[in-house]
Structure 1
Amino acid sequence: MDKGCLKDRVCTLKFNLCKRASAIKLNIYTLHTLLEEMKDNEICDSYIVTLEIGSITQIMTQVKESQHAHTHSEQGHPEHGHAHHGHSHHGHSHHGHHHFDPSSDRIGWAFLLNVTFTIIEFIGGWLTNSTAIMADAVHDLGDSLSIGTAWFLQRAGNKQATARFSYGFKRLSLLAAMLNGVVLVCGSIWVLIESIPRLFAPEMPHTEGMFLLALLGVGVNGFAAYKLSAGNTLNERVLNWHLIEDVMGWVAVLIVSVVLMFVNLPILDPLLSIAFTLFILYNVVRNINLTLGLFLQGAPDEQVQLQIKQRLQQIAFVDGIHHLHFWSLDGEQHVLTAHLVLKQLLQPEQLVAIKCEVAECLSEYKLSHTTIEFEFPEEACRDD
């Protein structure tokens, strides 16, 4: 094996160790063999010193410890799914595991309960002549759509990336969020059209029916929230808060139905429905605005973007940074690309050291994809 090839292989192994010490599956024997070959071939002393066996052994110890912790975490928390590590170029894709997913099962149960009860709500709202129940039905419809798409996308979104869709399918969740938002806006406008005229001509709803539906709503949504409370995934936590909101909404309907049993104040029904609807619209518009920003590849957090730039600029031999792009696949998994302008021409071992420092600098931000390009002095940037 020639000297140049040996250098390239050791550089790659060294860089991968520093870049992803928590996940890389390294053949330790291979690295030691390469080092011995380098000695036998009398490759330059400075290069051997940079990759001395003591340094490599220390890194390998960290790798083994990290792998042990990673394996223990997987065994203790199977519901985590590790979807955010599913990038084939990182060498540890989990997509080949077709095992039982407790998280998906819990979300599936919550979806089944919610969509069934949403249908009951619309029928019950029509039978009881209650716009408050109709408003709650629209709210639950939105939650059913959110839970359903989360359930579907938890499966579909984790498919392997392809040559055409090189980043995978995580952005499907943004499309689903936009569609959900449109449905909720339309439903909310319909409820407002029904409710506002009743402020001027209130109609007494069927209070006993409201009361029974409210009890059922508290029970169904409360049970669904309980099912999801056992989970640890981000999807489950977010959806659990949605269901807790539903429970609170049904408690409000329950209170109003009890009040209307004893006091003739039919205006409470449209007032409650309008309050629900405005609350829904506020959250929907906020989510649509956020989703649109992600669609347009806006920075998910400008403060974090600034921190990353400042950290990279502090690295030795880095003279400047441009074409730094920080965007998000789905609001949770972020992507970073940047050009680092170096102060001078560097030796291979110095470039390896800088790459390791960049990897360490970025590790705390849990980025899903990073692409860093080095530019040398007087080199023209092809992207300018």
Structure 2
Amino acid sequence: MHSSHHHSHAHSSDAASNRIGWAFLLNVVFTLIEFIGGWLTNSTAIMADAVHDLGDSLSIGTAWGLNKLSDRQANNRFSYGYKRFSLLGALVNGVVLLTGSAWILYEAIPRLAAPEMPQVEGMLLLSIFGIAVNGFAAYKLSGGSTLNEKVLNWHLLEDVLGWVAVLIVSVVLMFKPWAILDPILSIGFTFFILFNVMRNLKQTILLFLQATPDKNQMDDVRKILLDSDEINAIHHFHIWSLDGEHNVMTVHLELQQDVTLSQVTMLKEKLREGLARFDFIHTTIEIEFANEPCRDELDKH
């Protein structure tokens, strides 16, 4: 029974990896086509969407790599496993997108004063191609059940909407030579990218610096820890996150006077049940008897 469950888990993991792999390949190839197409059609809007797609390619590539890495066991070098690599991927992704967005704004803002007419037929063809490729990639991932696949599917659906906007502008430009629509669209795309990047980058940097992922969770856990007559106080209480999804908790519990061994056993069971809903990937609880000096405090002297 156990081996059958393990086999089905491995099979679903492989299927997820294959779906993400297909989406990654499509996105990378299409991003290259976009950059070339944006240059040939003289369209900053297409260039802006190429930067957006480059970010999605990096996200999908990171997700694909992590999907394979996540099956690897913790070892002496990475004792918590490989989940923290996703933060590194998010940080690299954020820096690349910030750089790309700055470049697009540098190109597009001067065009507001002196707009240049893009090659409209090329824009139209690329937008149709973009809707088809991103739509197909989103369709491939829509069958997935993993969190990675669901998040990436939203990214790809955003891309489809972006290309619909390019399609509408290119159709308008065929009838009205309003060249300023191209830089306006590219600046709109870029601010949309920057809004999402800055929000995600802030969260990533906070997690890298081991900030508490959720202050409310910290308060809730503290209440559970102190809601026992056997506990006098807590210290060295920490909650941090490996990747924004999998959290770790450590704490020292200082017991009241005259607590028996059977009471300690019951306390541990009560804490296990109370903390279960937080779904920590690791918990370390050190119990200190009354008047027992804290080992970590002794180490400082």
Q: TM-score, normalised by structure 2?
A: 0.94
Separation of aligned partners in 2, 1:328 and 1:321: 21
Secondary structure at 2:49's aligned position in 1?
helix
Which of 331, 342, 345 is 2:255 aligned to? 342
Secondary structure at 1:341's aligned position in 2?
strand
Is residue 210 of structure 1 aligned with residue 120 of structure 2?
A: no
For residues 278-301 of structure 1, give each alpha carbon's deviation from its aligned partner in whole angstroms, at most 9, with x where no partner exists.
111121111111111111111111
For residues 316-367 of structure 1, give each alpha carbon's deviation from its aligned partner in whole angstroms, at most 9, with x where no partner exists.
4122211110000011110000111111343332222111111111110111
CA RMSD of aligned residues (A): 1.9
Shift of 1:100: 5.9
Q: How does 1:289-304 map to 2 (within 5 A)?
A: 289-304=202-217
Contact 2:232–2:254, Cα closer than 8 Å, also in 1: yes
- Which structure 2 residue ranges, 5 or more long, are not aligned? none
Secondary structure at 1:223's aligned position in 2?
helix
Is residue 238 of structure 1 aligned with residue 145 of structure 2?
A: no
Separation of aligned partners in 2, 1:270 and 1:225: 27
Separation of aligned partners in 2, 1:161 and 1:345: 40
The amino acid across from 2:268 in the alignment is K
Q: How many residues align?
A: 296
Contact 1:157–1:172, Cα closer than 8 Å, also in 2: no
Separation of aligned partners in 1, 2:121 and 2:198: 34
Separation of aligned partners in 1, 2:213 and 2:250: 14
Q: TM-score, normalised by structure 1?
A: 0.74
The amino acid across from 1:221 in the alignment is N
Shift of 1:98: 8.2
Is residue 158 of structure 1 aligned with residue 75 of structure 2?
A: no
Separation of aligned partners in 2, 1:359 and 1:242: 38
Partner of 1:355: 268
Separation of aligned partners in 2, 1:341 and 1:182: 44
Range with bigger deviation, 347-356 or 135-144: 347-356
Secondary structure at 2:296's aligned position in 1?
coil
Change in 2 beyond 3 A, CA 1:140/1:160: same
Which of 40, 60, 64 is 1:127 aligned to? 40
Q: How does 1:6-85 map to 2 (within 5 A)?
A: 74=5, 78=8
Is residue 270 of structure 1 aligned with residue 183 of structure 2?
A: yes
Secondary structure at 2:295's aligned position in 1?
coil
Partner of 1:320: 233
Secondary structure at 1:330's aligned position in 2?
coil
Separation of aligned partners in 1, 2:153 and 2:226: 41
Shift of 1:382: 2.2
